[in-house]
Amino acid sequence: MQKNNKSQRGSNKNQGNYGYGNKKNSQGQMKNYNYAKAKSEIQKPKLPLVYSESMSVSDIAEVTKRSVAEIIKTLISLGIMANQTQSIDRDTAELLAGELGIEFKIDESKDFTNFEKIEIIDKEEDLVPRPPVVTIMGHVDHGKTTLLDTIRNSRLVQSEYGGITQAIGAYSIERNGKKITFIDTPGHAAFTEMRARGAKITDIVVLVVAADDGVMPQTREAIDHAKASKCPIIVAVNKCDRANANPDRAKQELAELGLLPEEWGGNVPYVNISALRGTNVPLLLDTIQLVAEVEEYKANPNRDATGYVIESKLDKTKGPTATLLVKSGTLNVGDIIVCGNTWAKIRNMYNDLSKQVRQAFPSDAVSITGLVEVPQAGDKFMTIKEERRARMISEIRTLRSKTQSQTSTKVMTLDELFEKAKENESQTLNIMIKADTSGSAEAMKGSLEKINVEGITLNIIRSSVGPVTETDVLLAQASQAVIIAFNVIALQNVKDFAKSKGIDIRSYNIIYKLLEDIEAAMKGMLTPVYEDRVCGQAEVREIYKASKIGTIAGSFVTDGFVRRNASVDVIRDGIVIYHGKIASLKRFKDDAKEVKQGFDCGILIENFNDVKIGDILQFSITEEVKDEE
């Protein structure tokens, strides 16, 4: 009996107390249960697939704690043949994660297709001092160029040729054994672009203000840019050698804008200079170096280089070239970089003296060749180890950029508003005013608001002072507005940006011309009225029959002119027997757009071959009826 019980206990053990053999389901029915399979499923890790760009099959296996064989088997089930070293793109990785039943995530810190967002934090012990990067700004004719030339010429005593600086856009000088890098950006074009992209290209801003002129519109614009960069500002009060110079007035005006001088209890250094005579320019350079010492600009030169594009162009002999400012790391000839939507294997590097160099360190500006395409000013660059990887990142970013461009809002230009109005899509003309002075802006606004065209509403969404900026373009895109620039400029990079967004920028310097164009555009938005006007007559003197095309009327123009796109009435014995269009108009054997009075021509009338000698052909063109003033 005990033996039987023992046997029974063994039987029960084998039948399922520990998961072997058959097991009852919830309905009490027996089913075959594979314990080994269940155990393996329980033990399979549920770690998420954290994807980073250019991951291989073995990388995915390591991240998910699965075997390479299982990853390959799962890919095969999805119809994808791969080996353990093959790279897997993002879409395939997402499908794979779904098939494995695990979560899919993107590792933003390693997603080099968005390398602008990657922030590499260096250890404090790896950081060493670097030269400051200085941008000079100010109003037109306040002496920016003269100051730059004076600073640039300070190194010609070493017999160095500095003419290349205008082309490269940046240069360095050495003072007291320390370097200063200046960004030579007329109109601070590159700085504006980089500020809009959130890149802190500059360390210090030198604001140039003329002592005999004071604060002007572009001075205010430069102050806005400098404040937005959150970097120290040094004010250079220029032209102090002039008889009518008043440096204190300039200081007072700037103090009202938030630039309080140090001697007045503020934190902004002021230096009175004469850029033309070189007076106090050395003091200005000393002040720059003093600010740099206080700020303690540092970088790690012992890692892959990152930085920004100052300017770029397509050279006829060198191909795409770009001026790069290295912010961190060391850039070498032969390095592979991704730069905006393009990439490069650096073939040559030149410094600001047009001399070839092998390396560029933090705060150095160099011109490079080897780019696949021309990048944009303000694009960030980063060194990438593999050429294949750089090419792939470039392709992904280019495709992403095209997709974003196609899905962006389409904005009508002033020339297209008429076509839009004909479809009754809009009867409102939105306008943004940018003027040189607030008085001009107010005058333009008042004059435009007086234009009265029945059925059309003119809406001025903004009236402000200063050059057209990217912020203005973005606002115009959002409101589908036309930008009117009166006595102000739009920098080339802003024009390119506006063109990419489909924004129309109209520039004027005569107010009555502006008012005429806007009024004409508003009238053009109304549904036009057309009428036919007789423009000429011709007499049929010969008939030529061509089997393939029909009857050609050899005619002599007796009055006015005949035009290719005109309509024609065939008159016989004073009665119009046919009304149609001209199919072909020729002078001898050549096609003609127009034939005037006193000349012969051949005319083929569309869908009409019963023309006879002596018939009179009367021509009409359709014209818009103009409103009487």
pTM given for the model: 0.52
In this predicted structure, the answer to whether residue 243 has a pLDDT above a threshold of 80 is yes
Burial 97-126 (b: 16+ CB within 10 A, else e): beebebebebeeeebbbebeeeeeeeeeee
Residue in 557, 554, 444 with CA at minimum distance from that of residue 506: 444
Q: Are strands 49-51 and 104-106 parallel, antiparallel or unpaired?
A: parallel
User: Model confidence over 182-204: pLDDT tens digits?
Assistant: 886 554 444 544 544 444 688 99
- Residues written for the chain: 629
- Residue range 306-406 in CATH 3.40.640.10: no
Asked whether the CA dihedral 437, 443, 446, 448 is positive or negative, the reply is negative
Reference 205, options 236, 237, 232; nearest CA is 232
Select the highest-mean-pLDDT range: 324-333, 410-419, 478-487. Answer: 324-333
Is the Cβ–Cβ distance between 82 and 88 less than 8 Å? yes
Comparison of pLDDT for 439 and 14, the residue scoring more: 439
129-298 belongs to which homologous superfamily?
P-loop containing nucleotide triphosphate hydrolases (3.40.50.300)
Q: What is the chain's mean pLDDT, rounded? A: 78
**pLDDT value at residue 123:** 87
Average pLDDT over every residue of 555-565: 91
| Residue 477: partners with Cβ closer than 8 Å, 6 or more residues away | 408, 409, 411, 501, 502, 503
- CATH number (3.10.105.10, 3.40.50.720, 2.40.30.10, 3.40.50.970) of 530-624 reads 2.40.30.10
What is the rounded (10 degree) CA torsion for 346, 348, 351, 356? 150
Q: Where are the domains positioned within the chain?
A: 2-43, 49-110, 129-298, 306-406, 417-524, 530-624
What value does the mean pLDDT take over residues 527-550? 79
| CA distance linking residue 219 with residue 225, whole number of Å | 10
How confident is the model over 387-406, as pLDDT tens digits?
888 888 888 887 776 655 44
- Residue written as tokens 């705060």? 363
Q: What's the CA gap between 381 and 309, in Å, rounded?
A: 7
Amino acid 174: pLDDT: 86
Q: List phi, psi (to 5°) of 78.
A: -90, 0
Alpha-carbon distance 526 to 532, whole Å? 19
Dihedral sign for Cα 451, 455, 461, 467, please: negative
For 377, residues 6+ apart whose C-beta sits below 8 A from its C-beta are 189, 190, 193, 194, 309, 310, 311, 312, 493
How far is Cα of residue 186 from the mean position of the Cα atoms in its chain? 20
In three-state secondary structure terms, 360 is strand
User: Do the domains 129-298 and 530-624 sit in the same CATH topology, yes or no?
Assistant: no
Residue 527, CB-side half-sphere exposure with 13 Å CA sphere? 4
Contact in structure between 138 and 187 (CB atoms under 8 Å): no
CA 333 to mean position of chain CA atoms: 28
Among 323, 298, 292, 330, which residue's Cα sits nearest to residue 308? 323
Residue 500: its H or E element = helix 492-501
The encoded tokens of residue 362 equal: 């933090």
For residue 13, the model assigns a pLDDT of 43
Q: Choose between 598 and 54: higher pLDDT.
A: 598
Name 554's bridge partners.
Answer: 542, 602
DSSP state of 409: P
Tokens found for residue 364: 């150095």
Residue 150: phi and psi, rounded to 5, are -65, -45
Q: Which CATH number fits domain 417-524: 3.40.109.10, 3.40.630.30, 3.40.50.10050, 3.40.50.150?
A: 3.40.50.10050
Query: What are the residues whose beta carbons fall under 8 Å from the beta carbon of 46, sequence distance 6 or more?
Result: 101, 102
Q: Write a three-state SS string for 300-326.
A: CCCCECEEEEEEEEEECCCEEEEEEEE
- Out of 72-76, 150-154, 549-553, 565-569, pick the least confident: 150-154
- Between the alpha carbon of residue 368 and those of residues 125, 310, 359, the distances in Å are 31, 12, 11
How far is the first Cα of the chain from the last one, in angstroms, to the nearest whole number? 125
Q: What is the DSSP string of 105-157?
A: EE-GGG-GGGGGG--PPPPGGG-EE---EEEEEE-TTSSHHHHHHHHHHTTGG
CB 568 within 8 A of CB 605: yes
Instruction: Give the tens place of pLDDT for each residue, 401-451.
Output: 665 544 444 444 555 555 554 455 446 788 888 887 766 777 778 788 888
Cα four-point dihedral sign 113, 117, 123, 126 = positive
383 vs 395: CA distance, rounded Å: 16
